[in-house]
Chain A
C-alpha cells in the first residue's frame, strides 16, 4: 500500500461528517481530539493489508506526538510492525519542505502488517533537515522506551540516541506542572471576542502572543496592534466563566506559537493583575492550595534552557499546547525550598532588569548573568547527582540573595542587582567558575547545543 492521504482536520462544518464516520468500527481507533483525515486512511490501510503486507505513506508529522493521534499510534505499535519513520520537521524555507506549498511537517511511515507481542522490538526514525535527505540523524526506539518516556501519550520523540538518557532523567521527576499549576488558552478569542477589543488605553491591556518576550512584554510588537478590553461589557457577558476572573491574579503568559526550528520555544513572562490575555497566548496560574512553588519560581524554571530543550524535543510543530506544558515536570522539591526561593529572587531581578528603561550594556550583562545562574540552578534541581559528580554545583555557593519588596525604589532594586552581580561575577567565584565550565559536562553540552550552530 503506497499513499499520500489528504491532511484535513474535521472541525466546524465537517464535525457532523466525522461523527458519522466514527460510527464505523474500523475508525474508532482514530478517536481522541481533533480528527485528521490522514488518520482515517491509516486506519483503513491496516484493514486492506494482508498479513505481512507492506504499507508506506506520507502524512502529517503530528502522528509522532500529537495527543489526537495517540490511539492510532498505539494501534500501530500493537498491530503493525513499524520498520522505519522518516520525519521532516516543519521548515520556514519552502525549498526545504517536501511539499513547497505545505508548511506543516510531514513524515513517511514504513510498516508491515504483523501483530507484535511484547514491547522490545525496535524501529528506526530518521529526522531529516530537509527534503533532500542528505543531512539529518538516525535514532531508534523500542516500544518499551516509548512507554517509559510517556506512558500516557506514547509519543515518538525527536531524540538522538545520546539524548534519550537526559530526557529520561527529566521525566523521572514525577511531579507534573499540572499538579501545582494549570496552563490555559488566553481568555479572549481574537475572533469571537473581537467586539470587546478596543483602542482606548484607559482600559485594561490585552496581551497578545507577539507582545510576550522572555521576561517582559513589549509595547512595540512585531505584528498586530495594541488593544484593550472593554472590561464592563466583557465581564457582564462572561461573569460565569472561570477564565474571566483569571486577570485578577499574577500569571505567567506565554506565546502560543513559536518557531518549530527555534532553540527557544518557550517565551514567557509574568503579567500582573488586571491584564487580559488574547488566545494567541497561553497562561499559567497556580492551582488552588499550591503553597509549594511560587509562580515566579516556575517562571524561572519554565524559561530555562533545560525546559526549552525538553519542550523542543517533544514538540513536532510550532504550537505550544497547554497539554504539553501541563505535562512538563517540576523537580522533586522536597528539601529544595531554599533553592526555589533563590530562583524566585533571581527572577525578580531579571524581570526588573528587563524593563525597557534599562538598555545599557551593564544591566544587560547583569540580566544575562542572572539568567545563566537560573539555568545552572535548574540543571542542579533536575540533575543533582550529575552536577555533584562533576563538582559544578551552584546553589550552595550563592550566598545571600536579598528579596525585592514592594516598598523598594528602582534605585534600591538596582543597587541590590549590582551588589549581587559584583559578588557572584568575581572571576574566581565558584558560581562563575562552575557556570563557565558547566557545559563541559557532556549532558549539559548536548542541552546547550554547544556543538551546534547558534
Chain B
C-alpha cells in the first residue's frame, strides 16, 4: 500500500492548493525546503491526517486565508492498495469534518498504528545532561508534569510514545500519562490505589519490560551502522505506586558493554552524536517491533538530517535502505524525508537514485511585494522537464541552463554505467561534458544520426560560453529542437552499449590503408605519366 498523491489546501503554511505527486507506484519522497517554507506543515499534515482516522482533531487553517475561503482547509491523500492494481482510493480530512469520512478509513487507522514520525525536535531533546547514570525513561516514555494545584504543566512525548504494550494493547505513552494523571488528579481512595497498583503490576511494568527487551536487538543492529561497536541494554525494574502523587521506579538505565565488557563510566561514552544515534536506533527499532504485513507503513523524518552530525547521516540512509526500503514488498515502508540542507538533498538524491524516490523542492514566494509568503512546491521531474517549463515561460536562458545540465547528467550516467574511459585531467574540474561526449561518440554504438543531431546543437545551445543572442526569435525554435534531441538521447540511455573499440580502429586502419593504397596508386600513375613526358 502506497501514497500516490498528497493534496494540501489552506492548511497551516500551505496557503492555497498544493500538490505533491509520488507517481503511480507511490515513491518515497525527499523534500528540500527553505526554513519556513512548510516542511513541518507537511509533517503535521500527514500526522493529522493519520490521527483523524481514529478520532476528531482540530485542523489548523492558514491564518491568511480570506473570509471567502474560511473553513476550507483540507488534506487529501490518494492511496494505492497494491502494486498489482492501478486502483487508488482518495481519503480527505476536511477542517469542517475534523475526521476522515470514508467507509474504508480502516486502512488509514491501520497506518496510524504503525506510523513513524520523528523530527529534529525529538532528537534535540536527547541532548540532555546525564550525570552519574543515564536514565532514559523520560526520553523513551515521556515526561508528564502537574502543578501542586493539579493542573497539567507539560506532557512531552517520548520516543516510544506510540509503541503498543502487548499486555494491554494500548499505547505506552498514553498509558503512562493516564497512570500519572490518576495519581495526581484523582481522589486516592482504596479502590483507586488498588486499580493503579494492579495496572502497573499486570500491564504497564511487564509491557514496558517486554518492549525494551524486544527492541534491544534491532537497536544494537542499527547502532553498528553508526560505528558504535557496543552492546547496549536497557534496564528497567518496575514503576511502583507509593501514595498520592508518588510514583517511584520510573527510570530506564542504559547499560553499555564494549566487547562484552561493561564500560564503567558509560555516560562519558555518550557524546551528542552517539546519543542521537542511540535515539534514532531506538526509535526505528520500536517501529520494526510491530507486525508489518499488509498495512500502509509511513516513516516521516522531518529535518532529522540536520539534527545529525556528518558521521551519522550516511549510516541513517544505510539503515533506511536496508531495513525499511529494500525489504520484502509487504514489509516496505514509504519513507518521507525533509531537509533544509541542499547539499544533503543532493546527496540523498545520488544515494537513492530516482527509481524509487521522488524529489520535491518547496520555496517561499510572496504573492505581492511586502506580502506574506506562501510555499511553492516544485515537483522535480528532472532537469529536462524544468527546461521545458522555462521554455513555455519564455525564460530561454533558464531553459538552456537546465538543458545543458540534463545533457551533462545523461553523458555522465552513460559513461558511468558502461564504464567508458574518459580523457584524464590532472585537475578534475577541467573534465568537461565535451570529454564525456567525445568518449561516447568514439566508443559506443550510439546511432550516428543521433550523434550528428546532438553535435549540431551542442555548439550553439549547450555551450556555456555561447554568445548566442537569447533575444532572437529563432532561439526558441533552436531550443525546441535541442530538447527533442536530448530527449532522444535520454530514451537511448538504456540501450547504448560500449562498442568493441578495436573493431572500429581496425576498420579505420583498413579505410586509411585503402585510401593510402589509392593515393599510392595515383602517385604511381602520375609518376609514370611524368616519366613518359
Contacts and interface: CB of A to CB of B under 8 A. Distances in A.
A93 B186 CA distance: 9
A439 B169 contact: yes
Given A433-B293, A436-B290, A451-B54, A364 B202 contact: yes
Contacts of B54: 440, 445, 450-451
Nearest to A375: B169
A432 B289 CA distance: 12
Nearest to A435: B169
A432 B291 contact: yes
Interface residues of B, number: 38
Given A365-B210, A454-B175, A436 B291 contact: yes
Given A439-B169, A445-B54, A361 B210 contact: yes
B105 interface: yes
Contact of B113 (A364, A428, A436): A436
Interface in B473-512: none
Nearest to A368: B167
B292 interface: yes
Contacts of A361: 206, 209-210
Interface in B175-232: 175, 178-179, 181, 186-187, 189-191, 194, 199, 202, 206, 209-210
A448 B190 CA distance: 26
B199 A372 contact: no
A102 B28 CA distance: 61
Given A437-B110, A450-B54, A451-B55, A369 B166 contact: yes
A365 B206 contact: yes
A390 interface: yes
Contacts of B289: 427
B301 to A, nearest CB: 23
A442 B105 contact: yes
Contacts of B175: 454
A439 to B, nearest CB: 7
Contacts of A101: none
A211 to B, nearest CB: 15
Contacts of B290: 427, 436
B105 A372 contact: no
A440 B106 contact: yes
A405 interface: no
Contacts of A439: 169
A93 B187 contact: yes
Contacts of A448: 169
Interface in A340-377: 361, 364-365, 368-369, 372
Given A93-B187, A222-B194, A428 B166 contact: no
A433 B114 CA distance: 11
A390 B106 CA distance: 8
B109 A445 contact: yes
A365 B167 contact: yes
Nearest to A450: B54
A435 B74 CA distance: 32
Interface in B22-74: 53-55
Interface string A418-438: 000000000110001101110
B376 to A, nearest CB: 36
Interface in A71-112: 92-93, 95
A5 interface: no
A437 B115 CA distance: 12
B164 interface: yes
B191 A92 contact: yes
A365 B199 contact: no
Contact of B291 (A95, A433, A450): A433
A166 to B, nearest CB: 15
B166 A437 contact: no
B106 A364 contact: no
Contacts of B179: 454
Contact of A454 (B113, B170, B291, B295): B170
B206 A437 contact: no
Contacts of A364: 167, 202, 206
Interface in A380-394: 390
Interface string B155-167: 0000000001011
A68 B71 CA distance: 50
B480 to A, nearest CB: 52
A453 interface: yes
Interface string A118-160: 0000000000000000000000000000000000000000000
A386 B167 CA distance: 25
B206 A428 contact: no
Given A361-B206, A433-B291, A440-B113, 13 more contacts: A92-B191, A93-B186, A361-B210, A368-B167, A368-B168, A428-B292, A436-B113, A436-B164, A437-B110, A442-B106, A445-B109, A454-B170, A454-B174
10 contacts: A93-B186, A361-B206, A365-B167, A427-B291, A427-B292, A433-B293, A440-B54, A448-B169, A454-B174, A454-B199
Interface of B: 53-55, 105-106, 109-110, 112-113, 164, 166-170, 174-175, 178-179, 181, 186-187, 189-191, 194, 199, 202, 206, 209-210, 289-295
